[in-house]
Amino acid sequence: MNIGFIGLGIMGKPMAKNLLKAGYSLKVYDLIAAAVDELVTAGAERGANNADTARGSDVVITMLPNSPHVKAAVLGENGALAGLAPGAVLVDMSSINPIASQEICREVEKKGGFMLDAPVSGGEPKAIDGTLAIMVGGRQDVFDRVEPILKVMGASVTLCGGIGSGNTTKLANQIIVAANIAAVGEALTLGVKAGVKPEAIYSAIRAGLAGSTVMDAKAPMMMDGNFKPGFRVNLHIKDLTNALDTGHDVGAPLPLTAAVMEMMQWLKANGYENEDHSALVRYYEYLSKSDVRR
């Protein structure tokens, strides 16, 4: 099966490499030539543009920052849609607005193709390991065709419903992650201000009901002051923007999401937008005039 892969950023590059390792024939494209060069060295074919990358591909995967980027790459000049063959499948693995997924799908279907929206969770480490959680929206028969490919990149691959359902589920995921990180930062700050060491709090509660994958991943980063990005603040702002917009569209109240969004906007305003989202603890440290370092 021939696969076209568009978007070789912090997530897309390792995902594409895993497909190569699994033996798939891959044609790749990205605006950053060095990223393409690296994949070509690893065994991929170079695509001249988005349309050329889609041409001859049974499945075209896009992994891009946000809705406008996906629309431009698929529907714009020399977009993937121009090279997409009838019967081919576009799998958009970007995290975008569910409404945009539905709009793009309609254009793909007019061309005789099929589409899945399949955003991922897990950040760069799980993209490298091929253990991402992949949330998929689209038709069951199309999902069945593409599922073996997705399982190369993810440990968990779940069909959530019709087109747009994958991105709706991803937004729900991002709400829970953001609120959880904020709660961890708030709790550790409380402990420090009350004279309890943050590592003692973390060790004592991580095995109980308050424990979580998010806590295990982010509390050590907070305590070490290590904000090297696994998932950048500016990308989480993008996801929460999409969540709030979708909530407004469907009438879902999202007050916790709005509160954490304001914390992240503070981080952006203070120059921390390219740090890991565990940097939310900086907001509490600023307000409390303390730090949670161990």
What domains lie within the chain, and their CATH numbers?
Answer: 2-162 (3.40.50.720), 168-288 (1.10.1040.10)
Q: Which of 114, 143, 170, 130 has the alpha carbon at shortest distance from 24?
A: 130
Q: Partners of 134 in the beta sheet?
A: 120, 157
Beta-carbon count within 10 A of 212 CB: 17
Angle at 275 between CA 211 and CA 14, to 5 degrees: 85
State residue 138's pLDDT score: 98
Beta-carbon count within 10 A of 287 CB: 12
Q: Which of 14, 7, 168, 15 has the alpha carbon at shortest distance from 95?
A: 168
62 close to 89: Cβ distance less than 8 angstroms: no
Q: Which of 115, 106, 62, 107 has the alpha carbon at shortest distance from 88?
A: 115
Dihedral sign for Cα 231, 235, 237, 243, please.
Answer: negative
Whole-structure pTM value:
0.90
Marked catalytic residue, from 13, 17, 126, 170: 170
State residue 122's pLDDT score: 86
State residue 280's pLDDT score: 98
254 alpha-carbon distance from chain centroid: 20
State the DSSP code for 170.
H
Q: What is the DSSP string of 65-131?
A: SSHHHHHHHHHSTT-HHHHPPTT-EEEE-S---HHHHHHHHHHHHHTT-EEEE--EESHHHHHHHT-
Dihedral sign for Cα 141, 142, 145, 151, please.
Answer: negative
State residue 246's pLDDT score: 94
Give the integer Cα–Cα distance in Å for 98 and 150. 20
Give the integer Cα–Cα distance in Å for 16 and 34. 14
Give the integer Cα–Cα distance in Å for 253 and 250. 9
- Based on the residue annotation, tell me whether 170 is a catalytic residue of this protein: yes
Q: Compute, in degrees rounded to 10, the torsion defined by CA atoms 126, 128, 133, 136.
A: 160
Counting every residue, how long is the chain? 294
Q: What is the pLDDT along the chain (294 residues), one digit of tens a residue?
A: 999 999 999 999 999 999 999 999 999 999 999 999 999 999 999 999 999 999 999 999 999 999 999 999 999 999 999 999 999 999 999 999 999 999 999 999 999 999 999 999 988 889 999 999 999 999 999 999 999 999 999 999 999 999 999 999 999 999 999 999 999 999 999 999 999 999 999 999 999 999 999 999 999 999 999 999 888 999 999 999 999 999 999 999 999 999 999 999 999 999 999 999 999 999 999 999 999 999
